[in-house]
Structure 1
């Protein structure tokens, strides 16, 4: 998706595994991890119960974290990418284009309003639609539900950004050097609960 970010200096690269050996192949510095996985009903229920428990304990959106709840159909991949970028604008050259304009406006409104503001951005909407249609293979006619989330380091805490929820989930301590490893531990916990839960991942990286 093209939203006026200097992709020659900052890009998403494939992550072929989240063990120590495979992480070493991912260029540094690591800014965020974007995860895509099938979302069977049982996994959805388990993750929802995790967030429900956190909500009962008073979890909310921290002041230093940018978060938005998805209200656009079939756009969790776009939201995962935008969440990854939004947490790292101090490290990315976001230019003066559609993303920069939307982001500045979005910071001024509440979590519930940001999705509508995104939908109102014609340029970003066109980029999302073009990206969705640009696959190299034809879509499988059978309905397969996949979900995207992202992980970022915010002041030493690893956060999971799931746009279907109402707040980001704090997953424990991390650093820029250990971001992928720490996110990998969180992902592995998910995989262990559901042995047939495969995933694919991208890392948002920047030039060192």
Structure 2
């Protein structure tokens, strides 16, 4: 399935920067409060992850980590090309777990942006299933929620999480990857706990979106 479901997304409305940590759904930035708490990330005890807001950079035409690893071609009209997005990367020495968290937000009416966010994650499931050389192990596949493990075929493994919150038109990605065997054995809470932790800050970050 394509990463885009035609007709769900329209050109973005005009928006303006908002001061402070939080902002309304019509917002031209990713609020600092939108990022998952470091202590709720997998392997937090071992790596003591830093706060992600201070590491975040603007992501132009964002893609998910598995798309680069699986050589997924760009999709014409991809709605992520006009989303507001930021990415935080935490690198580690070779053999350790690398970390990426990405927040992608569509401005304007949430009935429309929410459908777009859900469609992007739904499309990602289809693209992920076609990944070569080895089919992924998908551990969660529910509307707006995806968790998978990918054997990248070159001595590396990737843990991929995606969650969409239609209430505030936002998608959050968590990707962690390492060579095999990693220096630190993989350990993570349940998919549900990880995905809930990625989603929970959005209700605060986008004021009034979860009433």
Q: Would you say same fold, with TM above 0.5? A: no
The structure richer in helix per residue is: 1
TM-score, with structure 1 as normaliser? 0.26
Question: Looking at both structures, which has the greater relative contact order when contacts are Cα pairs under 8 Å and sequence separation is at least 6?
Answer: 1
TM-score, with structure 2 as normaliser? 0.26
